[in-house]
Amino acid sequence: MSEPLMATYKRLPVTFARGEGAWLWDTEGRRYLDALSGIAVCGLGHAHPAVREALCDQAGSLIHTSNIYRIAAQEVLGETLTTLAGMDRVFFANSGAEANEAAIKLARLHAHRRGIESPAILVMEASFHGRTLATLSATGNRKVQAGFEPLVQGFVRVPYNDLAAVESAAALRPNLAAVLVEPIQGEGGINLPADDYLVRLRELCDRHGWLLMLDEIQTGMGRTGRLFAHQHAEIRPDVMTLAKGLGNGVPIGACLARGPAAEVLGPGSHGSTFGGNPLACRAAQAVLRTIADEHLCERAAEMGAYLQAGLRRALAGLPEVCEVRGRGLMIGIELDRPCGDLVGLALEAGLLINVTAERVIRLLPPLILARDQADLLVAELSRLIRDFLGGAERTGAEV
């Protein structure tokens, strides 16, 4: 058979046929516990009736018209989302990278209007903002950028969770116009900054007249136990991007803005053929309603704490386990060695997990995860980790 797909992904040897809640079944009928949710996308789990009903209903009347007309579902979603986020306006895109592209364009336009000729955006080491040219240039991971030079200019990078570095950059760069940062770094290894990091960044942005732009594409939509992760810090950004969990699998991204930043993009300055189409907006509306109706933020907070405590207990005494960390249902287990092989071993055991930053096991289970499923996850994963570490030691002893 020819290979029609570009080799952009090293795919695991499994094909899923259907899902229900936190469970997936492959084409052979084998069942898997999904502790990844399609990388923080299916927060409501698979085949949630609220999303299915919204999609079926909308597909039966209209899927797409165009943004050159008014779109009722987009206006309703825009109202809901801006109200929930305490923001003024929203632009709808189709993905996370596109939402960040809108934020980057907005920041540049905002700066130009204020007389900054060649504006720069402060970004962080180990960040991830997407795979388009501007967003990979903003991303703090050489692997994402290598080979795609020349990169987009206008990004200044500092270490994450380092306010002194931000102050130094401010002193050196009068052209800084915005900060783009994840409240918790996801791809970078589930990196949590100090509790006051966002508060202090907010203060620095206010002092220097920068836009605080939060990439909540992975942390948003209830994942960390609040609808948006920055709500833990009780600050508000000027710009916030969302995607992943917003449509529960239906592609949709959003760039929200507040105050003067919300008025920057006008007719002709940005656009999208598909962005904010009726189908995607109905899905996102159903997601927001369900998160509220089923108290999924509270549930993520509670189940996340339960899961973290369970993992700490089950992994206690293993010196190879450096740290169990996270917030809500965004959890990382850092080992002292690369552990990418665990993904395949877990798959064989009927468990879907991820490893990021080489040594960090990443768990992003659906927000609807039940207690017995959390128990199963802890039991299975801790067994796999113990076997993996034990096996590695045996191999070491044989050499």
By beta carbon distance, the residue nearest ligand PLP is 96
Residue 212 or 378 with smaller CB distance to ligand PLP: 212
In whole angstroms, what is the distance from residue 102 CA to residue 93 CA? 8
User: 127, 138 in Cβ contact below 8 A?
Assistant: yes
| E strand map for the chain | 16-20, 23-26, 31-34, 89-93, 120-124, 155-158, 176-181, 211-215, 239-242, 253-257, 321-327, 330-335, 351-352, 354-356, 360-363
Residue 93 or 205 with smaller CB distance to ligand PLP: 93
Task: Report the side by side order of strands in the sheet with 16-20.
Answer: 16-20, 23-26, 31-34, 351-352
Residue 170 or 178 with smaller CB distance to ligand PLP: 178
In whole angstroms, what is the distance from residue 198 CA to residue 327 CA? 15
372 noted as active-site residue = no
Task: Give the residues lining the site for ligand PLP (CB under 6 A).
Answer: 95-97, 100, 128-130, 182, 186-187, 215, 217-218, 243-244
Choose, from 128, 228, 274, 388, the residue flagged as catalytic.
128
143 noted as active-site residue = no
User: Regarding beta strands 89-93 and 253-257, do their DSSP bridges make them parallel or antiparallel, or are they unpaired?
Assistant: antiparallel
Residue 241 CB, shortest distance to ligand PLP, in Å, is: 7
Choose, from 215, 228, 238, 388, the residue flagged as catalytic.
215
Residue 375 CB, shortest distance to ligand PLP, in Å, is: 28
- Cα distances from 390 to residues 17, 80, 385, in angstroms, run 34, 50, 8
Residue 191 or 373 with smaller CB distance to ligand PLP: 191
* Position 321, amino acid: V
Residue 173 CB, shortest distance to ligand PLP, in Å, is: 23
Residue 279 CB, shortest distance to ligand PLP, in Å, is: 17
In whole angstroms, what is the distance from residue 241 CA to residue 309 CA? 30
Residue 93 CB, shortest distance to ligand PLP, in Å, is: 9
Catalytic residues, by residue number, are 128, 215, 244
